[in-house]
Each structure stands twice: as C-alpha cells, then as structure tokens.
Amino acid sequence: MIKIAILGMGTVGSGVVAIMNKRGENIKNKVGTELKVEKILVKDNSKKREIELPPEVLTYNVEDILDDPEIELIVELMGGEEPAYEYITKAISKGKSVVTANKLVIAKYGDEILKLARENEVQVSFEASVAGGIPIIRPLKESLVANRIEEIYGILNGTTNYILTKMTQERIEFDKALEEAQRLGYAERDPSSDTKGFDAAYKIAILSSIAFETSVDADSIYIEGIEGVTLEDIKLADELGYVIKLLAIGKKYDDGLNIRVHPAFISKNHPLAMVNGAYNAIYLYGDAVGDVMLYGKGAGQMPTGSAVVADIIQVAKDINYNRLDTHSLGAPRNQQIKEINQIDNSFYLRIQVLDKPGVMSQVTKVLGDNHVSLSAVSQKHMLTPIVPLVLITHPVKEENMRKSLYELENLESVVKINNLIRVEKKHNG
C-alpha cells in the first residue's frame, strides 16, 4: 500500500478524490498496490465538503502530513504561491514525491524544485499545471522526445478564448463578453490574470522549458492581454479571412528562443482557429513528427482531476516498483531569449486618416522607409472627413514596425492609431 496526502480539497481536489473512489480497483491494478488517501489538508473547518470523508482524514495542520514518514506522495492542489511553494519544497526535502497542478509555482520555481527533487531522489509531476485535462507535459517529455521542437502555439486560457469566441460569434463588445463569462463561472471576479495574459504566460513558460530544454524566466516573456481587442478588430479580421485568438507562443530560432503571449490574427484555416469557447489546444511542430495538435478541456473539476490522477498513478507505480526516474527531470541548459523587437512578424494595423488626396502615399512612404511592405490594404469609402485604413504587412522586424508607428503618429494626416495586432502563420502555412 502507498499512502498519499492531498493538500487542498476545492474544485480539483474534490474531482481527484471522486475519480480515485470511482476507479479504485482499476488504479490498484495499474499501480500494483492499493493507494490510500491518508490525509487531506484544508483551511476552513466550517466548510461543507463536496465529498464525504472520514473525519480523521481531514487536517488543518500541514505538519500532520509532512512529519508522517509513511506518506510517500503529496498532491498539492491549493494553488497560489505561498504556502504551496513552502509545502512542496518541505515535502521533497523529507523524501516525498509531489504531484501538483500549480502553474504559478512550477513556472516560477520549477528549476529549483526539480533540482531539489533530483537531490532527494523523488519524483515531481505537474501535468495538470498546463491546459488542465489535455496531456501535454508527458507527451513533450516522452512521446515527442525524438524531435527538435521548433514551435509551440497554445490557446492555453479558456476564459479569454471564451470571450474572444463570444465577440466573434455574437458580435458583442469585450465588456459584455466578459460579463457573460463571469456569469457562467468561466471568468473570476477579478479576471485580470486571464485577460492580461499572465495565466497563459505561466503555462507557455512551463511548456517552453520542457520543449526547448531550457530555463525560462517567466519575467522574460513578452505579454499582451486581450483588453485592447475591439469588436471592430474582430469584424475586420473576419472580413480579411482571419480570427483573433490569444496565443501563447514559444519559437526556436538559430540564435535563441522567443516566448510571448499576445492576441494574434490567424487564418480561418489554421487548426487553432476552430478552437472555440472555453476549450484549449496546443499546436506544435517537431522536425521529425511534423504538425501535432492536442485539443480538449483546459480546466474544470474532472478534466483537471483526470490529469492529476494520471500523475498520481504514474508516480505511485514508480514508487511501488522502486524505479523513480529522477533522470528525466532533466537539468536545463540556458538558451538565449530573444527580445520581441528582434522578431519578424506580419502585422495588422488599423488607423484613422484624413480623407484627402496624398494621404495614402504619405503612409506608404513612412512604412517603406522602415522596410515595411504591405500584403493587403483595405480602405472603406465613407462620406466622412476621417476614414479608417486597415493594412496587413509582410513579415518585418518588430523594431521597424514600432518605428513606423511612431512616425505615423507624427503625420498630420494620421488622426489615430487604433490597433496593431500580430498576424501568425503555421510553420509551413
């Protein structure tokens, strides 16, 4: 028998216990021995629990778990940075393996935690920390390990994907779509970690560190959220054959990596364009395998529970057969992270200009002087003195695009720069 303890019994913790209860016999066969949930740590002793538990299982004191030498595996499902980080590191130092769904702790302290795990010869698994129920960590570490991964594009945040899908399909503004997401429980009361792109950034930091075998400092990631995306941009994207998605991107270049999160135009034919609502997906390109896409539920009690229980089974099996594989935790190499300014991208640019002769040539001169060439131009003919102008560029260094914007802003005929959104293409598309 292997004794485990769960830290946290909220949404995911309850799902994990439900799956373990339902699949107990099957799990026992897979692990090769019985798994016993010895203790569950919670905070609030007045809370009614979703799942009935024997009173001796619940504890409010983490030492009951950390000091019990018979507990070999800790499942951290509390969330947040502290005390989760403290409990995880203490558990490892005491020779316990850890399963966690905590993207924040893994993105920030992953290297340090894995080093500690190697030193203490225990296992740390975190499948549920990225894209909930979608298996991606283990596929990257194992099934795809023969490849040089060249790029990863993820729709890793269900809340923002839900909002953008609503805006696209129902032609509603951002605020209204956010309200709807909050009403349905897809968005939190303070949605900023999602809408400002931080949640997706933690996740792409974790994926990139595994795919590119490097140490990724979450602070080095370029992050733009979706708050600046308007219904007007969504409609224009549609007219031009695109949809707008919040993409988390990790790309390998000859001289380094670039990791970023921002809204992007993608062709309606791109596999990620079909990922709608609260669903998540990861599209990646490996030099041997080619295109791979994984799609599914990126959050929720049972999908996330599915990933956590899979990790529990795997680690427990390794404990049971005494084959803890600390080697696969891999010591990272340091690869250079390239600044976004040095990256080539196509751009969608929406500006407002005075409707008078010569304006278009002034705009194209500024762009041309900065090596920005255009692949599409759309100018609506309206009976107003100020008209919208929409441009799609060929790939150009971001630095040049930024310089053009600055110069365009200073042209008298340019009334307003409305928006600049990157246009992303598939590896071979």
Which residues are tagged catalytic? Answer: 203
Minimal distance, residue 227 CB to ligand NAP, in Å: 22
Which residues of this protein are in contact with ligand NAP, per CB under 6 A?
Answer: 8-13, 41-44, 47, 77-79, 83, 101-103, 128, 132, 299-300, 304
Min dist. Cβ of residue 217 to ligand NAP (A): 20
In the complex, least distance from residue 51 CB atom to ligand NAP, rounded to whole angstroms: 11
The residue of the chain with the least Cβ separation from ligand NAP equals: 10
Would you say how long the chain is, in residues? Answer: 429
What is the nearest approach in angstroms of ligand NAP to the Cβ of residue 79?
3
Strand duo 71-76 + 97-100: pairing: parallel
Instruction: For residues 182 and 113, give the distance between their C-alpha atoms in angstroms, rounded to a whole number.
Output: 34
Helix (H) or strand (E) holding 347: strand 344-354
Nearer to ligand NAP, 84 or 264 (CB): 84
Residue 196's SS3 state is coil
Give the angle subtended at the CA of 111 by the CAs of 107 and 114, to the nearest 5°: 110
Q: Which is nearer to ligand NAP, 184 or 289 (CB)?
A: 184
Residue with Cβ nearer ligand NAP (78 or 187): 78
Nearer to ligand NAP, 117 or 308 (CB): 308
**Long-range contacts from 382-388, C-beta under 8 angstroms, 24+ separation:** 382/355, 384/355, 385/354, 385/355, 386/352, 386/353, 386/354, 386/355, 386/415, 387/352, 387/353, 387/354, 387/355, 388/350, 388/351, 388/352, 388/418
Give 261's contacts (C-beta < 8 A, 6+ positions apart). Answer: 197, 200, 201, 204, 221, 222, 223, 224, 225, 246, 247, 248, 249
CB-wise, 200 or 392, nearer to ligand NAP? 200
- To ligand NAP, the closest distance from the beta carbon of 210 in angstroms equals 17
Residue pair 59/37 in contact (Cβ under 8 Å)? The answer is no
Strand partners, 387: 353
